[in-house]
Structure 1
Amino acid sequence: MSKTVEFILDLAAPNGYLAWYPLKDIVARTGAELLVTPVFLGGMHKLTGNAPPMMRDANVKGKVPYAALEFQRFLDRHAMTKFRMHPALPFNSILLQRVLVAAKDQQEMQALVDAFQPAVWEQNIDCSDVEAVGGVLAESGFDAQRLLGATQDAEVKQRLVDNTSQAVERGAFGIPTFFVGSEMWFGKERLGQLEEYLTGGKP
């Protein structure tokens, strides 16, 4: 029986972009099932007391430059040549995350992630602009009117809140976080450990 990898994701996290593509390769290699759970990173930070690394570590000598070096190494290793750091980071992702929640099923949700990742982290769209987000949806063949309209539904709003609080209750504090059952991994650097676990190795 194949295992299910749950990806706790907010599209506002650059490390979520970096993890997305290698994670899909891991899932394909191991025969695992991928499940995306959209959360709101701003809410997660508020609940946990966490903060974006560039803000949290700003006063730690050497740490932010080293994190940038590790980040670039990951980009180079995976040939992610189209990535561009978003000039508005940290930005509000509530609209994007509600669109993900409004997806009719996991297949549509993951297709939405595939559409939004390059729009956010290669084209650097304004993620709070309804027209810009709608344009991405329409160009990718989605029903933009349905999905954007659903972002104002009370049920969709509450589901995002619940996803976020439940992820925190399970131990999540940032993006990217991965769960296989009750086992949790945090960070793109743990993808190798995740694959080992899926293939029978120790976590």
Structure 2
Amino acid sequence: MAPRFYYDYGSPNAYLAWRILPDVEARTGIAFERVPVLLGGIFKATGNQSPFYRYGPVKGRMEYEMLEMRRFMQHHRITDFQMNHNFPQNSLVMMRGAVAAAEMGHGEAYDRTCFEGMWRENLQMDDVDIFVPRLNKEGLPGTDILQKAQESGTKAKLVELTNGAVEKGIFGLPSFLIGDELFFGKDRIADAELEILRAKSSG
């Protein structure tokens, strides 16, 4: 089974992980399966919540979280990240759209459009009047993707993927599954990479 990357466009840390994932794939020669899930659904199922809410009342903790983000970006030479002024956003339609776009053969371009719209372009991506034109600008069939995202089968598939993530022990994003080994957080990507290399050498 290919290693898996679980993500939601509404997570800035998932975006940062997505940015460096191609480098990991190039070094290991192994491609990750991208698995869209709904972070809010994971939080509800596991009793977890966003660090921005969980750590907000803790003096100094959010400042440290932001410091860690800056260090990560500096280390990986990510210079174009913008904290979205409309954060947090409701990512439900975007994530249903991820399922739809993948089934339509547009998964990679859709991922890029949604992640960059959120974390490079500072767009209100949970507003369909912004979301659909942004997809169209990328050359994607925005209206068709939105229509398919609203179909019952697409909705059910996102629920299935989200529940499947929870069943595998995932409680937050980004998460990586290498075989049965779970790695949580953008800062665990290096460990996930080592696990891939270990599995390759032992296989």
TM-score normalised by L of structure 2: 0.92
> Structure 1, residues 42-92: CA drift from partner, whole Å, max 9, x if none?
111111111110210123232221111111111111222111111222210
Specify which of 176, 185, 188 is matched with residue 187 of structure 1: 185
| Partner of residue 77 from structure 2, selected from 79, 82, 87 | 79
Task: Give SS of 1:58's match.
Answer: coil
- Which residue in 2 is equivalent to 1:99? 97
Identity of aligned residues (%): 36
Confirm or deny: 8 A CA contact 2:176 2:182 kept in the other structure.
yes
Q: 1:104 to 1:87 in 2, by over 3 A?
A: closer
Q: CA RMSD in A?
A: 1.7
Counterpart of 1:26 in structure 2 is 24
Corresponding residue for residue 146 of structure 1 = 144
1:44 partner letter: I
Give the whole-Å Cα distance in 2 for the aligned partners of 1:100 and 1:200: 31
Q: Check conservation: 1:36, 1:106, Cα contact below 8 A.
A: no
TM-score (norm 1): 0.92
Preserved CA contact (<8 Å) 1:12 1:92:
yes
Please give the residue correspondences for 1:160-171 in structure 2 after superposition, counting only pairs within 5 Å: 160-171=158-169
Q: Does structure 2 retain, via aligned residues, the 8 Å contact 1:35–1:106?
A: no
Partner of 1:129: 127
| Change in 2 beyond 3 A, CA 1:34/1:171 | same
Distance 2:170 2:140 in 1: 30
Following the alignment from structure 1 to structure 2, what is the Cα–Cα distance between the partners of residues 112 and 153? 18
> Tell me, which stretches of 5 or more residues in structure 2 are unaligned?
none
Q: Which digits, 9 at most, give the CA deviation of each residue in 1:17-44, with x for residues without a partner?
A: 1101211110122111221111111111
Counterparts of residues 62-73 of structure 1 (less than 5 Å): 62-73=60-71
Q: Aligned partners of 2:156 and 2:102: how far apart in 1? A: 16
Unpaired runs of 5+ residues, structure 1, are none
How far off is 1:144 after superposition?
Answer: 1.4
Q: Distance in 1 between matches of 2:130 and 2:106?
A: 19
- Aligned equivalent of 2:40: 42
- The aligned counterpart of 2:9 is 11
Please list the CA deviations of residues 125-174 of structure 1 after superposition, one character each: whole Å capped at 9, or x if unmatched: 11221121111211111111210111110000111111111101110011
2:104 equivalent to 1:109: no
Corresponding residue pairs, total: 200
C-alpha distance in structure 1 between counterparts of 2:183 and 2:102, whole Å: 27
| Stretch deviating more after TM superposition (25-34 or 106-115) | 106-115
In the aligned structure 1, how far is the partner of 2:36 from the partner of 2:186? 17
1:107 CA drift (Å) = 5.8
CA contact 2:118–2:125 (8 Å) conserved in 1: yes
Native 8 Å contact 2:6 2:34 kept in 1 = yes
The one-letter code sitting in structure 1 at the alignment partner of 2:153 is E
